[in-house]
């Protein structure tokens, strides 16, 4: 869909954070611009810091069937199950994505390891005694820690030292893992993506909102991914003699937005504030990607999700084999039908669906029954809802011979035709 003007109307409902959580999450003191300095790190329960904002309310307009006005440089709202795009702003723009990079890291780790495997922390992962970044778990050299604990640290607390440890465990080195990340991106069809690290921390990697929808849909197919990203807190054992480490999810939509299920936040000065957010209501699963926000990204993500749940509904639009009338092929009418069903499509409410039958150029007569001669497209305005093959249902027989026969046969036929028409007129 076309991009709305990029200013926000903030006069809307504010959803309060539960009181039990308010004491744990300090208020976010003012929005930062993408060009300005990063915000002051926020201490989270159990130790560690967060560069992400922790607002106590969401500022969103009332749910509406009109697209929201958002501040993001790039954004996409899509059906998580089908990938159908419901809204977009600069969906293919190549932008730094900060710690959202860790979705790809988690995908590869889940594909290539067992959660119970033990990882031995290297000097590089532990930072050689120095911080691996503003977001870290605090790993120690030689520490033995389970893969799943590192995944929780990676996706909840955005621990960059966990990203390094997991990358080395999977591929032997960070560099080999980054190469694997880029091969996988290419295999997934992510045409506007290049990774430079497993963490996304101040590197020159980039992606696009549309590519991140593709990545997240692939990750959601892997057992364990969605349960990790939906977790609010996780306790991780520490080396002997030290207190357990508690990691907290930085995606505050898990507290603030009804139906939120994940997924990942990110921030650097170059990337701005970023979030990939998923939610489910009444069987409908949506994903919103917000990149390059000058301030907290959660309100815009929530506004997009509200729009999806309010403005769209699931409908069955086309049955397999449904008759599509006839099309002209070299001057002859040919009966055609839909080659597949379009079921459970997300359709804007109170809008009529347009069905267009398109015959492929160069089709010759007679086409084979059951063969494809084109496509059936379903759309609402400029939004494509579905596209299925157009199949031949029946082919007419050969035309009558050119020889008209003797004059008396033509005369009898004319009389019979006139009588038939008269009967139809009187009794039909």
Catalytic residues: 99, 102, 158
Q: Give the whole-angstrom CA distance, residue 217 versus residue 235.
A: 27
Distances (CA, A) of 162 to 79, 289, 355: 31, 24, 50
Angle between helices 102-112 and 209-220 (to 10 degrees): 30
Beta strands 74-79; 85-89: pairing state:
antiparallel
Q: Tell me whether the omega of the peptide bond preceding residue 366 falls within 30 degrees of 0, making it cis.
A: yes
Q: Write the DSSP assignment of 122-172 as a string of letters.
A: PTTTTGGGS-S-SS-----TT-EEEHHHHHHHHHHS--HHHHHHHHHHHHS
- The radius of gyration of the chain from alpha carbons, rounded to an integer in Å, stands at 29
Q: Give the whole-angstrom CA distance, residue 186 versus residue 332.
A: 45
Q: Give the whole-angstrom CA distance, residue 319 versus residue 369.
A: 18
- Residue 359: its H or E element: strand 354-359
Which phi and psi (to 5°) does residue 225 adopt? -65, -55
Q: Give the whole-angstrom CA distance, residue 268 versus residue 51.
A: 8
The answer to whether the beta carbons of residues 299 and 288 sit under 8 Å apart is no
The answer to whether the beta carbons of residues 262 and 251 sit under 8 Å apart is yes
| Burial class, 421, CB count within 10 angstroms (exposed 0-12 / middle 13-18 / buried 19+) | exposed
Query: Three-state DSSP class for 295?
Result: coil
């Amino acid at each position: 869909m076309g991009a709305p003007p990029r200013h926000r109307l903030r006069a809307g409902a504010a959803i309060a954070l539960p009181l039990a959580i308010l004491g744990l999450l300090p208020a976010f003191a003012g929005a930062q611009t993408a060009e300005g300095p990063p915000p002051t790190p926020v201490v989270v329960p159990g130790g560690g810091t967060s560069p992400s904002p922790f607002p106590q309310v969401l500022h969103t307009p009332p749910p509406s069937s009109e697209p929201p006005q958002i501040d993001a440089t790039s954004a996409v709202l899509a059906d998580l199950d089908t990938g159908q795009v419901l809204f977009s702003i600069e969906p293919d723009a190549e932008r730094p994505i900060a710690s959202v990079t860790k979705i790809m890291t988690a995908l590869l780790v889940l594909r290539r390891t067992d959660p119970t495997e033990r990882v031995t922390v290297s000097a590089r992962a532990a930072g050689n005694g120095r911080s691996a970044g503003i977001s870290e778990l605090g790993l120690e050299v030689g520490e033995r820690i389970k893969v799943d604990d590192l995944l929780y640290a990676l996706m909840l607390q955005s621990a960059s030292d966990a990203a390094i440890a997991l990358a080395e465990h999977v591929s032997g080195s960070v560099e080999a893992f980054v190469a694997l990340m880029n091969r996988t991106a290419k295999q997934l069809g992510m045409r506007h993506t290049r990774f430079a690290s497993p963490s996304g921390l101040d590197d020159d990697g980039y992606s696009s909102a549309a590519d991140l929808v593709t990545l997240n849909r692939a990750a959601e197919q892997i057992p364990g991914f969605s349960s990790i990203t939906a977790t609010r807190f996780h306790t991780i054992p520490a080396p002997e003699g030290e207190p357990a480490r508690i990691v907290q999810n930085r995606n505050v939509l898990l507290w603030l937005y009804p139906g939120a299920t994940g997924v990942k936040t990110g921030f650097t000065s170059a990337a701005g504030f970023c979030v990939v957010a998923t939610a489910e209501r009444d069987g409908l699963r949506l994903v919103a990607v917000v990149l390059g926000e000058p301030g907290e990204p959660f309100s815009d993500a929530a506004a997009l999700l509200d729009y999806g749940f309010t403005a769209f509904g699931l409908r069955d639009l086309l049955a397999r084999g449904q008759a599509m009338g006839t099309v002209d092929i070299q001057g002859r009418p040919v009966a055609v039908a839909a080659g597949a069903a379009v079921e459970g499509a997300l359709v804007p409410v109170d809008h009529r669906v347009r069905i267009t039958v398109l015959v492929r150029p160069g089709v010759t007569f007679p086409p084979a029954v059951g063969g494809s001669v084109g496509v059936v497209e379903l759309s609402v305005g400029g939004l494509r809802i579905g596209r299925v093959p157009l199949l031949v249902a029946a082919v007419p027989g050969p035309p009558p011979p050119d020889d008209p026969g003797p004059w008396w046969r033509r005369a009898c036929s004319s009389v019979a035709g006139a009588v038939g028409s008269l009967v139809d007129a009187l009794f039909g």
